[in-house]
Amino acid sequence: MTYYAVIDTETTGFGKHDRIIEIAVVVIDPVSMETIDEFDTLVNPDRDVGRTDIHGITASMLLSAPTFSEILGGLLPRLDGAVLVGHNLAYDVRMLRRELERVGIELDKGVGCCTLAMTGSKLDVAAAELDISLENHHRALCDAQVTAEVFRRMADEIGETSACSAQSSEPFGLHRTLRREATGWVPCTPLLRKLIGKARYPSSQLRCAAYFDMLDWSLADGHISEDERTALDEAELSLQLSKAELAAMHEAYLKSLLNAINRDGRVTAEEAALFERIAQALGFSDRRLEQTPLPQIKQDHAIRSGACVCFTGSAFDDDGNPIERATLEQLAAAHGLQPVDRVTKKFCHLLVAQDADSRSGKGKVAAKHGIPVMSVRDFIAHLSG
């Protein structure tokens, strides 16, 4: 059978000169959907390790690690002919392709499945929604294992397993690796972890979500370095984001962070200072927060904090003026909701349509799974009330 190879990488950064410092592959049988093999190793990048506060890997940990060329004997057989799976797969494939190009090998990605596209959520948010334990986030093997489990839960629902074709395969061999033990290490500060975890990607578009994923990575210490800024500029080009889109995304991201800060109804001095640092990093030097209690957003059972909301069809205000989908998605994210682009049983809690009695394709799926449907007018009024 053609296997699924779930990959995850930890890297020195996400720019074109950055390197992989840890890689994991979880191989899944397409029939049983069980894990049949795992590959996990630290990688010596022959350069500095980058953001240790993100990945928890120090230079001393890599002194005895194999170089990328030394792990190819164990890595390539697990990728050859496999359907690649990853959370923000495009990022891992890009980093993997660059490493392979350095040793003269071309990567043919072929068919791939991205769990970020499937869920529309960060990996830790998706794991929590599916009751999957994620104890050592930003450790390659842990993230690959969790991504594999998210993929299993979602694959049947959206029919991804149909991509397989029959063929035989030899058992995978053993090769030199250096695995790190789970340390319980936690990335970034407790406050940043709390706020970034609460903030929602204010878009259901995969290319926007991929960019927001990079923003989370680069802002985990509260600022964007020169190298990170260069890498974000490269991502802007590769994701084909216009300057107007980028400005709107930075505005939406900041609003999502603001809502996360205000989730408990108050703003501390530490939260205000952190918000201002991130606002400045995103080009909004005039944004300030007062250390005063802010009113909490009213929620009801249908629109609980953190709920995933999907929009269907065209939307119009009471005067008949069109409302852009992006506007509704940013409004949702600003109120702690996660926009998604499809209606699924696990990752959609509310469908918003121009008419609550919509019988669109998404409306029918929502009815099948008992997902509530709300009109655009009621949705806006509820969040504004």
Are 200 and 338 a contacting pair, CB within 8 Å?
Answer: yes
- Residue 127 domain flag: yes
- Residue 295 domain flag: no
Range from 145-154, 282-291, 299-308 that averages highest in pLDDT: 145-154
One domain, residues 26 and 130: yes
- Residue 343 domain flag: yes
One domain, residues 324 and 364: yes
How far is residue 113's CA from residue 150's CA, in Å, rounded to a whole number? 12
Going by C-alpha positions, the residue among 4, 12, 23, 8 that lies closest to residue 177 is: 23
| CATH, residue 314 | 3.40.50.10190
pLDDT at 296 over 70: no
- Residue 297 domain flag: no
Mean pLDDT of 219-233: 82
Sheet holding 373-375, edge to edge: 338-340, 308-312, 350-353, 373-375
Distance from the Cα of residue 181 to its chain's centroid: 24
One domain, residues 138 and 232: no
pLDDT of residue 182: 37
- Residue 289 domain flag: no
Query: Residue 301 — pLDDT band, cuts 50, 70, 90?
Result: very low
- CA dihedral (313, 316, 322, 326) in degrees, to 10, reads -60
pLDDT in tens, 352-384: 998 887 767 888 888 888 899 998 988 998 888
- Residue 287 domain flag: no
One domain, residues 14 and 147: yes
Rg value, the chain, Cα: 21
Mean pLDDT of 20-41: 93
Distance set, CA 350 to CA 103, 159, 196, 311 (Å): 48, 22, 23, 9
pLDDT of residue 268: 80
One domain, residues 206 and 256: yes
> Among 238, 263, 281, where does a domain finish?
281
| CATH, residue 127 | 3.30.420.10
One domain, residues 149 and 49: yes
pLDDT in tens, 228-267: 888 888 888 888 888 888 888 898 888 888 887 877 667 8
- Residue 32 domain flag: yes
Q: Please indicate, yes or no, whether the overall pTM of this predicted structure exceeds 0.75.
A: no
Going by C-alpha positions, the residue among 192, 321, 317 that lies closest to residue 257 is: 192
- Residue 126 domain flag: yes
One domain, residues 152 and 81: yes
Residue 270, domain extent:
190-281
- For tokens 């609003």, what's the residue? 255
Query: Residue 238 burial by CB count (10 A; 0-12/13-18/19+): exposed, middle or buried?
Result: middle
Going by C-alpha positions, the residue among 111, 89, 107 that lies closest to residue 164 is: 111
Report the DSSP beta bridge partners of residue 338. 308
What domain count does the chain have? 3
> Among 234, 265, 281, where does a domain finish?
281
One domain, residues 316 and 364: yes
- For tokens 């030199």, what's the residue? 176
